[in-house]
Amino acid sequence: MDDSRETKAVVGTRRLKEAMDKPANLRIITVANQKGGVGKTTTTVNLAAALSMGGLRVLVIDLDPQGNASTAFGVEHLENPGIYEVLMGQMAMSECAQKVKGFPSLECISSNTSLAQAEIELVPMVAREMRLKDAIEELVAVRARDAEPLDYIFIDCPPSLGLLTINALSAAKEMLIPIQCEYYALEGLSQLLKTFDLVKKRLNTDLKLSAFVLTMFDGRTRLANDVADEIRKHYPNELIDIPIPRAVRVSEAPGFHQTVMTYDASSPGAIAYMLVARELAARSKAFDSNVVSIHYKREGGIA
Ligand code: ADP
Ligand code: MG
């Protein structure tokens, strides 16, 4: 059966199983926006799920005390140790990684409300902005030793620009910004970008603004299209121009401790997230070529 005769949904589900481009180097992506309810967690868990289904090794760090990503993945997060214990130095990250059921290679570092104290408890600590980065380095070293290197780490941020988000931006190589195509979508964006610039200048010179994802898009409204046009105009290279539709299946899935990728793989929301994940993976090449050229120059220098 050729594509033209298949329905969009069938094409979508079939493509879910196609392998995705494997990055040459681990990608660490912080999903940030200090506004609440814009789709950070939904985007994080569904992109992670889609990449995992595409054959890649993925880890999600739930850095929000609300623990929504942990809930969506159905991992135990009220009793088990998670990111709070890791940031406080009580546990190694490699000891806390929990497998997400139903996926070949998807893991989660869970969080719960105790993480809310971390914002305060981190303040007097040495190198308080670097705690997450150090913890990730431990995990990456363990995985390299076990010959099970990760392809992607996603960090789901809380809705603030406090120390947790600063830790996430210090630990990441990339920032992904979900934009809710609604009123006030762009309000606060300049503050987020200021924080990004500050972290890049002072704490993490390698950090890149790599992607915008349009969430909860309703193409029938003029407003949603205006927001999309605005991002398209200012960030043509960063925008992944595949809007995620506002769709009831997407919002139902966490209630069943699932991502929409497993809850209803042929629904429009799942297909859109799969296509965005595919585009994100395809863009690894641009990323890799930068990294490769840097390595090459360094080696050349030594020789
Ligand atoms: P954040 O993490 O930024 O606070 P969430 O990802 O939790 O935002 O999303 C906020 C709410 O919107 C949640 O109830 C979620 O289920 C819902 N939601 C997110 N994306 C969609 C979508 N594409 N369609 C319908 N509901 C959505
Ligand atoms: Mg969230």
Ligand nearest to the CA of 69: 2
Q: Residue 11 — pLDDT band, cuts 50, 70, 90? A: low
Is 176's C-beta closer than 6 angstroms to any atom of ligand 1?
no
**Helix spans in 156-240 (H):** 163-171, 189-202, 222-234
151 in a structural domain = yes
Ligand 1, atom 1: nearest CA belongs to which residue?
A: 37
Q: Is the pLDDT of residue 174 over 60?
A: yes
Q: How confident is the model at residue 89 (pLDDT cuts 50, 70, 90)?
A: very high
Please tell me if the CB atom of residue 216 comes closer than 6 angstroms to any atom of ligand 1: yes
For the chain, the straight-line distance linking the first and the last C-alpha, in angstroms and rounded, comes to: 55
Residue 54 within a domain = yes
Structural domain for 147, as ranges: 23-209
Query: For residue 241, how far is the Cα from the chain centroid?
Result: 17
Q: Is the pLDDT of residue 7 over 60?
A: no
Ligand 1 contact, 37 CB (< 6 A): yes
Q: What is the mean pLDDT of residues 154-181?
A: 97
**What percent of the chain lies above the pLDDT cut of 90?**
81
Residue 15 has a pLDDT of 72
In a domain, 113, yes or no: yes
pLDDT bracket for residue 303 (50, 70, 90): very low
- pLDDT at position 3 is 47
Our CA angle for 75, 77, 83, nearest 5°, is 110
| Number of H-type helices and E-type strands within the chain | 14, 8
Does residue 4 lie in a domain region? no
CB of 23 sitting under 6 A from ligand 1: no
Q: Would the pLDDT of 301 be above 60?
A: no
Q: Which CATH number covers residue 79?
A: 3.40.50.300
Write down the mean pLDDT value for the chain.
90
Q: What is the pLDDT of residue 16?
A: 72
Contact 180 CB / ligand 1 (< 6 Å): no
**How many angstroms is it from 20 CA to the middle of ligand 2?**
26
What size, in residues, is the chain? 303
pLDDT greater than 70 at residue 295: no
pTM of the model: 0.92
Q: How confident is the model at residue 14 (pLDDT cuts 50, 70, 90)?
A: low
SS3 42: helix
Count CB-CB contacts under 10 A for residue 206: 12
What is the model's pLDDT at position 17? 74
Place of tokens 């398209």: 232
Q: Which atom of ligand 1 is nearest to the CA of 35?
A: 3
| Nearest Cα residue to atom 15 of ligand 1 | 251
Q: How far is the CA of 273 from the centre of ligand 2 (A)?
A: 16
The Cα–Cα gap between 253 and 256 comes to 5
Number of domains in the chain: 1
Measuring from atom 19 of ligand 1, which residue has the nearest CA?
39
Residue 158 lies in a domain: yes
**Which residue type does 276 have?**
V
CB 45 within 8 A of CB 60: yes
- Check if the beta carbon of residue 199 is closer than 8 Å to that of residue 155: no
- Position 251 pLDDT exceeds 70: yes
Per-residue confidence (pLDDT) for residue 79, from 0 to 100? 85
Q: How far is the CA of 41 from the centre of ligand 1 (A)?
A: 7
Q: Is 68 near ligand 1, meaning CB less than 6 Å away?
A: yes
Reported confidence tier of residue 72, pLDDT bands at 50, 70, 90: very high
In the reported structure, the alpha carbon of residue 179 is separated from the centroid of ligand 1 by a whole-number distance in angstroms of 11
**Which listed ligand is nearest to 260 at the C-alpha?**
1
Nearest-angstrom CA–CA distance, 183 and 257 = 29
Task: With respect to residue 255, please indicate whether it lies within any of the assigned structural domains.
Answer: no
Closest alpha carbon to 106 in 156, 65, 45: 45
Per residue in 196-243, pLDDT (tens digit) is 999 999 999 999 999 999 999 999 999 999 999 999 999 999 999 999
User: How many angstroms separate the alpha carbon of residue 37 from the centre of ligand 2?
Assistant: 7
Q: Cα separation of 133 and 295, whole Å?
A: 21
- Which contiguous run of DSSP H or E holds residue 141? helix 131-145
Question: 293 lies in a domain?
Answer: no
* Closest alpha carbon to 106 in 258, 254, 240, 253: 258
User: Residue 137 pLDDT > 50, yes or no?
Assistant: yes
Is the minimum distance from the CB of 244 to ligand 1 under 6 angstroms? Answer: yes
- H/E run at residue 247: none
- Return the ligand 1 atom nearest residue 254 CA: 16
Confidence at 13, pLDDT banded by 50, 70, 90 = low
Task: Indicate if the pLDDT at residue 293 is higher than 70.
Answer: no
β-strands 174-180, 208-215: how paired? parallel
Confidence tier at 64 by pLDDT (50, 70, 90): very high
Distance 64 CA to ligand 2 centre (A): 7
215: Cβ below 6 Å to ligand 1? Answer: yes
